[in-house]
Structure 1
Amino acid sequence: MHDHLHDHDHSQCDHDHGPRHIYIYSPASAVRDKAAFRRGIARLKALGHEVEVDADALATHTRFAGDDATRLAAIHRAAASGADLALISRAAYGFTRILPGIQYKKVAKAIERGTRFVGMSDFTAFQSAVLARTGATTWAGPSLEVDWGVAGEPDDIMAACFDDLLTGHGEGTGWRMNHEKPHAVTGKPAVPDVYVKSATLWGGNLAVLTSLVGTPYFPQVKGGILFLEDISEHPYRVERMLTQLLHAGVLAQQKAVVLGQFTQYKLAPHDKGFKLQTVVDWLRSQIKAPVLTNLPFGHVETKVLLPVGATVSLSVEARDALIYWGHQ
């Protein structure tokens, strides 16, 4: 375990550069910022990596990176590439409609051979489907355009965690949860000390995950650790989606629920104090499993990489939380 995992309010990862083969493809939304796309490729090449760009990476068909057949073919080329890492150019909407056409055996075989599929947001649909259909592990993490193609420098923690994945040194992620007052009546802390050994880590974008409930692409995970994030969703919408997962029996089956970053929403005057913390408090009243906060993952610059479908352990002591997978 890295000694410095708790040295910062966000997770930290070690730097250790080594050249790897990275395959860039566009399975969902069309690339919107071509300059950022080029910057991202240049940055990865500057780190010494061999970057292979899919033939249709810049294709467009309405809002998508090519029609459904084009994007499915890109996924299958990524699986056949033999790359160490297959990185999406960007997410946005586009995955759910092509889930029936994905050749999951090909994807699982590529993962078995060592290709790590990385992405987030709408990519949650792909990750959930791969987990549901094959049990294989993918990685929640950055995309090319938004994270590697930024005008300034890419976030150093994101970059270090990405490097850890490429070099096989990633062992876990530690972070500090939000400061919350103890329960007014019982005086108990908002989150008790927790230790969960050997649970499946799964989840991702809340809206995308919720849209898969009742389909063959929703993972049936019992005794798991469910992590969630979202963007541009008002707290009442976050609560409504959590309610769906609650009523579907999903939340009661988890050993812990870990909330990442929920960003870019606007509270209204008629909320009258209803906010994200209200939703967190409500969720804690509905399930026995601990609800953790402030995981450095979501539509934010500082994001860690998380193995979706992997067996992990979780420990919480006061406000310090740690998810680890390197040494069970």
Structure 2
Amino acid sequence: MFSGILISKDDDGQKVEVAQIDEADLPEGDVTIAVEYSTLNYKDGLAITGKGPVVRKWPMVPGIDLVGTVTETTGSEWKPGDKVVLNGWGVGETHWGGLAQKAKLKSEWLIALPESFSPAQAMSIGTAGYTAALCVEALVKAGVTPDQGEVLVTGATGGVGSVAVALLAKAGFTVVAATGKASESDYLTKLGASSTIAREELSEPGKPFQKERWAGAVDSVGSNTLANVLAQTKYCGSVACCGLAQGADLKTTVMPFILRGVSLLGVDSVMAPRDARKPAWDRLAKDLDPSLLELIAGKEIGLSDAIGAAGDLIDGKVRGRIVVDVNK
């Protein structure tokens, strides 16, 4: 038996609890992992609170991230004692995830824990930081360079935004951070932002074609914010889109695309292949300063505190990352 957060559903609705789970009930997989840490992402918050249709199979152990040690395997790729990281691949949605002391997964979903990170640090990064790295990689591949001007990061105090600010600044970009929390300007400056703007400047409906400002952007907000960012992006600039914190709608026109050659780069972290994941984690290992990672990490909690923390995350009360010690 092991402890884990279990989400169940019946005619009376959704139930979430820290439960004792039989190892025999673990789903199919060729690698069994003793989980050390997980983390709370926005998607985990939606799953635990029931405020979004994330869970598609019941019952479900949430947690789209985990880091731990291989204990058993029937495959040849991993061996007992290997330290591994899991991000995405539908865990916490259709396959039991990381908010438990044990997990059973497919070997091809795993990557080796980078030597430069401890298990707790890897979860300070989590899917949010890994997604931020994918976004930065996408902008660089699209040809966005520091000499072209300012780069915007929306939702800058969130997990994706915080890491994106740090990585872009390290890569030499002039970073402008958009946030709804004016009190966090010092935090964003420490991460590398050269300036901040109020979230409200972008969150209301605006004209589909506006004055050029951004050479590129990382957007985890969507809706009106993304529409305004596209409308303000410079000629041949690029916007990496990876989230929908404001909404999934996008009310804009083709004008930024056909008159300025703006590129909208969709970034998916869930099913990204290893040849995309490895460069992203390599960038994190190379460019994410340990002192900044400590700043981004936010706080560490135990498994029993994760349910309440999920509600705080959805309500926008969390800065940076929440690391969950599943054995605490």
TM above 0.5, one fold? Answer: no
Higher relative contact order (CA 8 A, sep 6+): 1
Greater strand fraction, Structure 1 or Structure 2: 2
- TM-score computed with the length of structure 2 as normaliser: 0.27
- TM-score computed with the length of structure 1 as normaliser: 0.27
